[in-house]
Amino acid sequence: MKARIIDELGQTDILLPALIADALAANDRVKVRMSALQAAVDQARHPAVAPVDLSAECRAAGIDSEAIQSLVAGARLTADSQLCAPALGTVISDILADVTAMVRAVVAGDAAEGAVVAGRLENLRSQQALEPCDAVDSNRVSSWTSVPTAGGDSLHRLVMDLHKAINHLAAALAEERLFEARVYGLQPDDRVAVTAFMRGLNRTRPLKFAHPGLETVALRSGSRLLIQNDIGTTDAHVVVIVVEGNAVTVTYTDVHRARARFFTQLFSDFAIRWSGLDRRKSEGVAGEEVFYLVTGHCAADDSKLRDRLLESLGAGLVFLIDWNRARKVLQTWVQKGDAVRVLDWAARSGVGHRGFLELGGGDLVASAVRHATPNRIGFGERLDTALGREPAVDFLKTVLKVSAEALLEGRSVRLARDRIEADLVRRLERTDSALLSIVVRQAGLARDIAAAIAHHVSGLQAGRCTDSRALTSNARRIEEKADKIAFEARSAVARFEAGSVLGQLVDRAEEAIDELEQAAFIASLVPDGIIPTALAALADLCGAATVAAEAAAAGAEAAAEVPEGHRIDSEDALAAVGRLADAEHRADEYERAVTAQVLRGGLDLPKSLAILELARALERTTDRMASFGHLLRQHVLAGLAA
């Protein structure tokens, strides 16, 4: 099938070595089959004589000896001298196929002589009725298999002449090996170019692992150097490279349009002019008879650039083997575009995807999910849903890298699986860190309200005119924003099954904000004429609430980095928890001081109620923050233990 594609591309020169090899094998077969036809005629004419045994000749030519022996032994003549024998029509058809293969080789190697022998074959088929049939005149068979002495033509004479022509072509096309490439008739500069191509090919060849493919043929044809690589085993998967001077033309065919597009993008660093992806049809190719063709041309300025391109082309071919299969596997875990992005990274990073497929592909990822995170990622759930888009892409890159390294370096497959599972666990821990970042935002909003209340109380102390309406409206706006954040956080905690502690942290932060919003409302109602000592105690309470919110934010932010293994971050988180506890203790003292001021008398009922309610709301805020700190400490210590 690949030969048919190359033929359609007009690059039959590159097929000449294979055509010659096929023709020589066909010559061996056709001689045995013509001998079998002659033996069948002799056996039919002299049935009492033991049949000729052609078993050894059949084995040497790669022919089924039982079929040939059955043909000879079962031959008989009808009353009108018609030869009848088992599978006679099949043998004649095989003879014609073998002779056609020999003619094709001569046509490819010498067009003029090829035209002559092709014409002779057509004349013999018409003049001597050389066509498959179940019964044929025995004298006609003899004419096919004999060599006329009077200078006439026959099938046997044509085969002899074809054999001579093929031997001549083979002698002129002596094969040698150049860095694993089969090369023919190369000139000195051709060898440099082929060496560059094979340098790239051999550098990445190990990444195909047990998969067949990447066989290369190169030959000089007139003014051109032709390089052809079979890539893998897909019928219409072919690349032919033509080098003329420093100019390089690449012709690539593929049954998968997406892979053909991927191929062209691999060489974006070079100034290659690519044609569009043409849709072609070819009988018998890839079942559906459809393939895609793209051509690229690069007029390199010098031989160094040409050779860099050839090396890059050689290195890139291994990343096309099983590409579509790998893409489909990856698409079960991430979006289609991201799957291609992973494969592009794997190619440009020299990792490839064949190792991933060798170790199980989708089963490898599924196993990591089952063993490492059985309760965090549901059955059938995509990784980009569980981890987020970019973390999922990065994880799959790691899977491909670890798989390739394990096979290339002969490491234990079990160790590779353990590394992949450990990486997945770390990424889920980073998801916990992302959730903690939401908590940091909540604590920051709490600090904003506490600071606004402190500013309002400071204004009351200084006798400044305060905007009570602005205080309450801003606090309400912040509280509504915090509610939305808390809703998103709870949804994320539920989706990621991130554990109860993270959910409780969200709850405590939201409760603290609710208390602060209530405190802001009460603060807006505090009348003038409050005694300075009571205002001072309220200011201290506001300061404690602000410090508690700041400590909560700092602790959550530090805790988010603990899964990365930074000990300093765990210490920072625990230190912030300590500051938060201290702020709560001070808030208790300040709240008692306010209560003592009220109970000593000297204030009317509205002022007393306003001061007490504001103090209690602020103290309850620090209580919620203290509970937050306890949960945060629990989370950090659990992470360190893990």
Distance, CA of 181 to CA of 183 (rounded, Å): 6
8 Å CB contact between 555 and 630 = no
pLDDT at 57: 85
Burial class (CB in 10 A: 0-12, 13-18, 19+), 428: buried
One-letter amino acid for residue 432 of the chain: D
* Chain position carrying tokens 């109602």: 525
Classified as helix, coil or strand, 480 is helix
Distance, CA of 92 to CA of 60 (rounded, Å): 20
Distance, CA of 341 to CA of 334 (rounded, Å): 10
8 Å CB contact between 271 and 300 = no
pLDDT at 170: 74
**Alpha-carbon distances of 220 from 109, 174, 178, 243, 300, rounded to whole Å:** 12, 12, 14, 10, 20
Cα distance between the two ends of the chain: 57
Distance, CA of 193 to CA of 208 (rounded, Å): 23
pLDDT at 295: 87
Domain range list for the chain: 14-172, 177-321, 326-411, 430-641
pLDDT at 431: 66
Helical ranges in 74-174 per DSSP H: 88-109, 111-127, 138-145, 155-172
Contacts of 391 (CB under 8 A, 6+ apart): 427, 430, 431
pLDDT at 288: 47
DSSP 273: E
One-letter amino acid for residue 339 of the chain: A
Phi, psi of 293 (to 5 degrees): -125, 135
Pairing of strands 247-254, 238-244: antiparallel
**Alpha-carbon distances of 524 from 317, 371, 519, 535, 593, rounded to whole Å:** 73, 56, 9, 14, 21
Q: List the structure tokens of 237.
A: 């998967």
- CATH code that applies to domain 430-641: 1.20.58.220
SS3 string, 367-390, reads HHHHHHCCCCCCCCCCHHHHCCHH
- What is the number of other CB atoms lying within 10 angstroms of the CB of residue 42? 17
Q: List the structure tokens of 569.
A: 């971050």
Chain-centre distance for alpha carbon 209: 16
pLDDT means over runs of 10, the chain (642 residues):
59 73 85 89 91 86 90 90 90 93 88 91 85 86 79 85 84 80 88 96 95 87 83 77 91 88 93 80 52 86 94 96 95 94 96 95 88 66 79 93 94 89 77 76 91 91 85 92 84 60 85 93 86 87 93 86 60 87 92 87 82 92 92 78 55
How many CA atoms lie within 13 Å of 141's alpha carbon, on the beta-carbon side?
Answer: 31
